[in-house]
Amino acid sequence: MAKIPLHFILNGEERAEFVDSGATLLRLLRDKTGDLTAKSGCLQGTCGTCTVLVDGAPRLSCITLAEDCDGADVETVAGLAAHGQLHPLQHAVMEHFAAQCGFCTPGMLMAAKALFLTNPRPSREDVVEALSGNICRCTGYEPIIQAVLSAAQVMSASGPGAA
C-alpha cells in the first residue's frame, strides 16, 4: 500500500503524517498522531463514538477517508480542555453522571460541541437531534441531554465566544 503524505491541523497544531492510501481518518488519528480519544465502536458510521470535527462540521472518522482531510482542520476531545481548564461540557458530563463506561463520551462531547458552534442556546429538542447519531448503551441518554443543556446555560451566561 502506497504511503501518502498529509498535512492537516489537529486541535490547533500543524501536523504532517504518512498514511496508507485508502485509510480512514480514525486510523490516521489513532495510529499516526497518538490521539486515541476518538473510539472505534462499529466502523459502520452508526454508533457515533468516533465523532470528530472536520472544518467545524461533525464527522464520523471511521467512514471519513484520511486523504479527504488533507489540509483540513480536525478537532478531537483532546483539544477540548483549553489551557488546562475543562470545557463546560466536560464539567457538565461529570456533574450529571452522563458518562458511565465512558466509551461513547468522546463522540457525545464532539457532537455537542458541533451543536454549540451553530446553536449556542439549544432547546431540549435541538440537543436530542444533535445527539441522534450517537449511541450510549449505559445511561439511557437523559443524563447526557441534561449535561449538554446545562453546559449551554453555563456557556451563554459566560458570554459569546465561549464555545
Partner 1 sequence: MEIRKKYFADERNDDLKEIGQSRQRSDALGHVKGITPFYADRAIPGLLHIRMVRSPHHHARILGIDASRAERHPGVRRVITARDVPHNVYTVLSLINIGPEDEPVLAFDKVRWQGEPIVCIVADSERAAYEAAQLVQIAYEELPAVFDVEEALKPGAPLVNEYHGQNYYRYDSGESRKVILGDVEKGFAEADFILEQRYQASPIEQAPTETTGCVVVPDQNNRFTCYTGTQAVFFTLDNSSVILQVPGQQLHFVGGTAGGGFGGKVDCTTEPIAILASMLTGRPVSYIYNRYEEMQISSPRAAERIYLKDGVMKDGRIVARQVRCYVDSGAYSRHTPYGTQKAAAHFPGPYTIPNVRIDCYCVYTNRTPSSAMRGFGVTIGDFALEVQMDKLARLIGMDPLEFRFVNAYRDGDMKAHHQPTEGAALIECMQEAAEWADWPVDPRCMAMSSREPRRQP
Partner 2 sequence: MGLSYRRFEKVSAATSFLTEEAGACVVGGGTLLVRRVNEGDAAVTTYVRVCDPEMKRIDEADGRIRLGALVTMAQLLGHPGLQWLAPAARIVGGPAIRSAATVGGNLFAASPYGDFGVALLALGAVVTVHGAVGVEEWPLAEFFARRDSLPAGLIVTSVAFTRPEAGTFRFVKASRVKPKGAAIVSIAAVIARDAGRVGAARIAFGAMAGTPIRASSFERALIGEQLITATLDRLEPHVTEGTTPPSDAIASAWYRQAVLPVHLRRLLLPEIDG
Residue in this structure with the C-alpha cell 463520551, named with its chain if needed: 105
Residue from 25, 54, 93, 112 binding partner 1 (CB under 8 A): 93
Site membership for partner 2, residue 68 (CB under 8 A): yes
Residue from 17, 78, 103, 133 binding partner 2 (CB under 8 A): 133
The strand ranges marked E within 3-162 are: 3-10, 13-20, 51-54, 57-60, 73-75
CB atoms within 10 A of CB 108: 28
Question: In the complex, what is the shortest distance from the CB of residue 54 to partner 1, in angstroms, rounded to a whole number?
Answer: 17
Site membership for partner 2, residue 123 (CB under 8 A): no
Residue from 10, 28, 115, 149 binding partner 2 (CB under 8 A): 115
Site membership for partner 2, residue 73 (CB under 8 A): no
CB 106 within 8 A of CB 39: yes
Residue from 53, 130, 136, 144 binding partner 1 (CB under 8 A): 136
- Distance in angstroms (rounded) separating the CA atoms of residues 108 and 51: 8
Site membership for partner 2, residue 37 (CB under 8 A): no
Task: Quote the crossing angle between the two packed helices 105-118 and 142-157, to the nearest 10°.
Answer: 40
Site membership for partner 2, residue 24 (CB under 8 A): yes
Site membership for partner 1, residue 39 (CB under 8 A): yes
